[in-house]
Amino acid sequence: MIVSSFQSQYGIRLYSQTFKEMKWDEFSALLKGISPDTPLGKIVEIRSENNKDTLKYFTKQQHKLRNEWRSKNIRKIEMDKKTFDEAMKAWENVFVSMAKR
C-alpha cells in the first residue's frame, strides 16, 4: 500500500536508487503529505473519519475497516520522548532495509 501510494503520488519507486538516497526527514515529510486519493490515504481517511453524516454513507467494508482499527487502538498509549524516538528509529530502520533490497 505504501509502495503504490508513493508511486502514484510522487512517482517514486521505493526500491529505486532515488529512494535509497532519500533522507529520513524527506521520506517522513512525503509520508505525512500523502493524499487521500492514494490507497494508503484512503485507508487513513476511513480510519480517522468522525463525522456522523459521512459515517452514515460508509459501506459495510468501510465500517468494518474503521471499527477494527478503532478497537485495536481504543487505548491510547502515552509515550515519553525517548520511547517515541526509539519507535521512529525502528521505523526508519524498516525503510532503510527496504531500500537496500
| Cα–Cα distance for residue pair 41/6, rounded to 1 Å | 10
Number of structural domains (the chain) is 1
The fraction of the chain above a pLDDT of 70, given in percent, is: 93
Domain span at 44:
2-99
| pLDDT per position as a tens digit, 21-66 | 999 999 889 998 999 999 999 999 999 898 999 999 999 999 999 9
Amino acid at 2: I
pTM: predicted TM-score of the whole model, two decimal places: 0.61
